[in-house]
Amino acid sequence: MMNKSRDWRMWLQTTLIPGLVSCSGCSSLYPVNANGKAFSVIEARLTAAGGVCRIDAGFDYRFTPPVIEALEQGVPLTLVIRFSLAEPRDYWPDRTLLAVSRRLHVSYHPLTRSYRIIYPDTGVMEHFATLTTLIEYLGTLRDWQIPESCTLQAGHHYTARLGVTLDIESLPLPLRPLAYLSPDWHLQSPPWPWPVAG
């Protein structure tokens, strides 16, 4: 465990910090999708029955090279999927009925040369041989049961929103200031809104 920590700390001092300094003020060169964003929601659907809401969605993840390099040096990443449900109101701000989030921990293990996703809310763990297969898996969210009561009234109309963010606050403490300063680490999707009928 100590060796793993020393490895990413050494990488931080010898590779990442000099790279950020030499690139100070330059534009971010990471790949983006058709929406001009590194992360985006490409589809989403909500189903409700018996006071339970479930979400199915598709995401497009474009991790930047610095983030991928950090992951492969042993830095764990946390993704946060956020969902909200609101009821539009005339003359007043929308009334928020639900606002929940789900966290995913992504890590790389050099000894087995494998990637891992952990869902803290369920304890489910998935392993992947390549980064490509991991990202493909991340791109599909199926049957996420919202952990709060969710009842849609017949005849009412609602607005659902879904988004995903790379959580900088969950990075190791020495890396956070650098991540805040670099646009390569500010990875999040615009909220994806869609209408829902009760």
pLDDT tens, residue by residue, 56-84: 999 999 999 999 999 999 999 999 999 99
Residue 30 in domain: no
Domain count, the chain: 1
Residue 29 in domain: no
Residue 33 in domain: no
Instruction: Transcribe 68-127 into DSSP letters.
Output: HHHHHTT--EEEEEEEEEEEEETTEEEEEEEEEEEEEEEEEETTTTEEEEE-TTT--EEE
Residue 96 in domain: yes
Residue 147 in domain: yes
Residue 27 in domain: no
Task: Pull the structure tokens for residue 36.
Answer: 């001009």
The answer to whether 88 touches 160, Cβ cutoff 8 Å, is no
Global confidence as pTM? 0.81
pLDDT tens digits, 146-169: 888 888 888 889 999 999 999 999
Supply the range of the domain harboring residue 114: 2-22+38-197
Residue 95 in domain: yes
